[in-house]
Amino acid sequence: MTKSQIADHLAAKLGTTKKLATQAIEELVALACKEAKKEFTIPGLGKLLVQKRKARKGRNPQTGEEIKIPARNVCKFRIAKACKDAVLGKK
């Protein structure tokens, strides 16, 4: 779904305007980006967090030369169990 489609759906479901629904989506995204360093959880959907990745050795695919990949922080999203079960079905 696109941002516009999500805003249309929310506006219809909540009985509000599309403009207000769009603002709500944008505020949620801004808050998630701001709070991701600590952990940002959307109950029933998942958790946005920053995770440290260790330095490691890699290989240049063109030359086969071994290179060192430095350590860095990456942003991850972990899907909640309730969401997994709803989408994939229970095992």
Q: To which H or E segment does residue 61 belong?
A: none
Residues 41 and 69 in one domain: yes
| Domain of residue 22, residue span | 1-35
Q: How far apart are CA 69 and CA 59, in angstroms?
A: 9
91 pLDDT above the threshold of 90:
no
pLDDT of residue 31: 95
Q: Are residues 29 and 50 in the same domain?
A: no
Task: Tell me how far apart the alpha carbons of residues 18 and 3 are, in angstroms, rounded to a whole number.
Answer: 11
28-73 confidence digits (pLDDT tens) = 999 999 998 899 999 999 999 999 999 999 999 999 999 999 999 9
Do residues 48 and 66 both lie within one domain? yes
Same domain, 31 and 61: no
- Give dist(CA 23, CA 29) in Å, integer: 10
**Cβ atoms 87, 45 nearer than 8 A:** no
Averaged pLDDT for residues 69-82: 95
Mean pLDDT for the stretch of residues 74-79: 95
Whether 19 and 47 map to the same domain: the answer is: no
For residues 76 and 49, state if they share a domain: yes
We report the CATH number of the domain holding residue 75 as 4.10.520.10
